[in-house]
Structure 1
């Protein structure tokens, strides 16, 4: 089972649906927070509505403790609060909850966020030359762009990251804590090949994750 399967869609009408939604807008942080996100998930899967506030606060704290930049942190927290408030007020249905959940972690937002995280976790602290780091950043931006433009599928992305992932005893995958420089070079080579094969332009393309999450929530909550 892949790490994406680990966050499988909850059944409609489930009493803990809101708990998944509170995390939906922060699932892009799954690989950014590393074990923290998985720990939170383990807790909430057995939770009930009486702990919504606790989960909400823990999620916000998880975002603040992550390695996201401050601007993205604030944007994502706004959306966490927004969905949380809408559910508590009865302004959002379980169907809308599920839709937000799908938009955030079954699409390009998750992949783009993971690409940005991999730059922070692996590329920046590595011993690669400045030129290699710049090329690595560009390569990961191309992969993220390809996911948003529909040229790189979720299955292609999962295959790509499998080479730098580890599985626990239950078969759940997560990114390795560290990579050797040679492992990183090999991974970036695979990323570049995928970007080249799918003809993603070789130019900088920064994706605003916080803004993309806002768009996903807007599409569901804002009606005519």
Structure 2
């Protein structure tokens, strides 16, 4: 990969104001990433090119390559320190990590695209949907995963926590809002609940005030969009 997406007009150093929270976030997401990889029907990624939008420190693509090796990949994120760490950890994997927010210059490049808990922070969701559609090859799939939507009963307190603890700008959108934006971009839209099947550890957290909240979030609230670009 030699092309370069347009640099973000609003870069940040890290997602979280507390940089130590970045490592904790990656550790917490790893079981969800494994579950997601098991969910997708695309088994053989040999020869495939993959995009991770909002890759943070790059852990998802490293995990994906370990389970389903792909030909090459791009991870893009607006957090410059996170991208630097991603590049320091990639070793000889066929992954390019790059700071940025937009995908101009990558038309018809990717067979698969992923984003995990990113779309709720995208300020212009219609532009994002159109850019990913353009970046995918015909027949490509975008998996966009989020539990941060206004249909989540915890969202009113979560949006306050996100605003207080991160360098990002919170957006308020429903599951339907996302579906309509992706459909308007040209995608054939479908979705399912994540329905995480593993055991969820009991931890004290501001994000899930009760253990019942955590169980409901990972099994009933978190949504996986499957967005297909027609041939």
What TM-score does the superposition give when structure 2 sets the normalisation length?
0.24
| TM-score normalised by the chain length of structure 1 | 0.24
Bigger RCO (CA 8 Å, 6+ sep): 1
Higher strand share: 2
Higher helix proportion (structure 1 or 2): 1
Q: Which has the larger radius of gyration?
A: 1
